[in-house]
Structure 1
Amino acid sequence: MQLRVLGCSGGVRQGARTTAFLLDDDVLVDAGSGVGDLTLGEMAAIRHVFLTHCHLDHVAFLPLLLDTLFEALSDPARHPLTVHAQTVTLDALRSHIFNGVLWPDFTRLPHPEGPVVQLAPLEPGESYPLGGARTVTMVPGHHAVPTVGYHMEAPDTALAFSGDCTTNDDLWQGLNGCRRLDHLIVEAAFPDEQAELAAAAKHYTPASLAADLSKLAHEPLVWITHTMPGKEARIVEQCRAAMPDREVRSLASGEVLPLR
């Protein structure tokens, strides 16, 4: 199993893309602006998209991806792209994006019986089997809107992605119930000196993340994501200081994680 970081920034600037990860070559986890760095061939290989929540920095490039692939996905011999998320997140996509006003309703195009995208509800605790003996399991999270994370497992490795998150017990209890966890991609959006803003926005700081990581029974390699532009180095430095007993690394757009 391989994970390519398409975007891992909490905002945008030159060289920074918002959240999107490519699992192997056929699964997209979130669909932020990092999707735009894929080639047409790489986009066409995607079969599944797993969304954590409905905020724009995590879904903005999904409608653009469908528009780009519309002709190929309209082929009756090909299955539609499947988007997995909580029911509340899928409802938000229908109401606010695929509504015929902000964007065409690709859930009914080119015709209702054969749309280019299929919205498939998944709830925390449920798993979805992928090809290659891979399994994706939705785990609960806590953010300003309903959100989840994902645990992804293959025979040789297992990783989890927190999604956007703040202090909670449910995520960590969900991950503790997983058999294996080698890598954890977890957000720390703001530095500790912006703790008040982080609390209002329902994001972690290094200190609050360190407190919650004490609830985790596993000892994964920790990758920090969703850092605000211009504050990346400061946040990672604070994470390492707050978690001296854990191996903490920063993410960068374009890198491929050594999952083993």
Structure 2
Amino acid sequence: MKFKVLGCSGSRQPGHNLTSYCINDTILLDAGAVCGYLDVEDQERITHILVSHANLDHTKDIAFLADNLASAVFAGRKGPVQVCSQISVLKSLKDHLFNDDIWPDFTAIPSKEQPTIVLEPIEFGVPLHLGGLNVIAFPVPHSSGSTGFALYGEDPAEHVVVTGDTGPNGGWTSFVNDLHFPVNNLVVECSFPNELEGLALASDHLTPRLLKQKVERLKIKPVLYVTHLKAIYTRQIQKELQHELAGYQYHLPRKGVVYDF
């Protein structure tokens, strides 16, 4: 599985792209940094977007991607992109983004019969089959409908689990422990330094200390890919991770890095 990081920052600063991953060149997991990274030819290869939640830093480039692809759909060179998420997340996108006010309604452009994007609801725990991969969505504690994703191939050794934005509560560690294969690759967030734990809890995010408490509930020690660091606290968080995650193998992804899971 080719897993390319288009962006993984928890805040927008020069040199820091917002959350977006491109999988096997055709599937996006979140869309915070697509159109500023992929050229139009690569954008036209996208067939599906898995959306973890409706927050703008994870969804803003769905709007610009749709705008870029509409002409290709109109010309018959490309079918619609399927935007897949929980019903509440899709409703937010339709009501507050693709509403012909904030942005054109590309679910009906070029026409209702030939849209640029379609909104496809998914259910927790029900496997999907996208582009040769299996996908299972699971709930995480954050904003309404927040979702993590387990993605795996025909051989489950080819896999990655992505929590998306998450606070310390909720049972996603039980979901990971109960998967039918051992999870060796876990992409998980850590947004704030330990001294801002109160802010992390109020906004359903993690600190290095809270992340340690969370992953200690897992049956095995996966390789951790720690993302969503708030840019202004990057150095402080990195220093604290060295202490809190002693004994764990972990990476700090950056834009442009490609992992082979």
TM-score range, shorter chain: over 0.9
Q: Is the contact made by 1:7 and 1:35 (CA closer than 8 Å) also made in structure 2?
A: no
Q: Could you say what secondary structure the match of 1:203 adopts?
A: coil
For 1:228, the equivalent position in structure 2 comes to: 230
For 2:63, the equivalent position in structure 1 comes to: 63
Rounded to whole Å, the distance in 2 between the matches of 1:216 and 1:168 is 14
Rounded to whole Å, the distance in 1 between the matches of 2:70 and 2:97 is 16
For 1:183, the equivalent position in structure 2 comes to: 185
Farther off after superposition, 218-227 or 50-59: 218-227
What CA deviation, in whole Å up to 9, does each residue of 1:196-238 have, x standing for no partner? 1111111001111111111112321101100001322321321
For 2:159, the equivalent position in structure 1 comes to: 158
- Scaled by the length of structure 2, the TM-score of the pair is 0.94
Write out aligned runs for 1:102-181 (5 A).
102-132=102-132, 134-154=133-153, 155=155, 156-178=157-179, 179-181=181-183
Residues paired across the two proteins, number: 258
Write out aligned runs for 1:7-26 (5 A).
7-26=7-26
Rounded to whole Å, the distance in 2 between the matches of 1:118 and 1:218 is 38
- Tell me by how many angstroms 1:188 deviates: 0.3
- Tell me by how many angstroms 1:73 deviates: 2.1
- Tell me by how many angstroms 1:124 deviates: 1.4
Write out aligned runs for 1:231-246 (5 A).
231-246=233-248
Q: Is the contact made by 1:73 and 1:81 (CA closer than 8 Å) also made in structure 2?
A: no
Farther off after superposition, 173-182 or 159-168: 173-182
Rounded to whole Å, the distance in 2 between the matches of 1:38 and 1:255 is 14
Rounded to whole Å, the distance in 1 between the matches of 2:202 and 2:34 is 26
Q: Is the contact made by 1:107 and 1:116 (CA closer than 8 Å) also made in structure 2?
A: yes
Q: Could you say what secondary structure the match of 1:237 adopts?
A: helix
- Tell me by how many angstroms 1:182 deviates: 2.2
Structure 1: state its 5+ residue gaps: none
Rounded to whole Å, the distance in 2 between the matches of 1:214 and 1:169 is 14
For 1:196, the equivalent position in structure 2 comes to: 198
Q: Is the contact made by 2:26 and 2:131 (CA closer than 8 Å) also made in structure 1?
A: no
Rounded to whole Å, the distance in 2 between the matches of 1:256 and 1:173 is 28
- Tell me by how many angstroms 1:121 deviates: 0.3
Rounded to whole Å, the distance in 2 between the matches of 1:63 and 1:37 is 15
Farther off after superposition, 66-75 or 76-85: 76-85
Structure 1: which 4+ aligned runs deviate by more than 6 Å? none
Structure 2: state its 5+ residue gaps: none
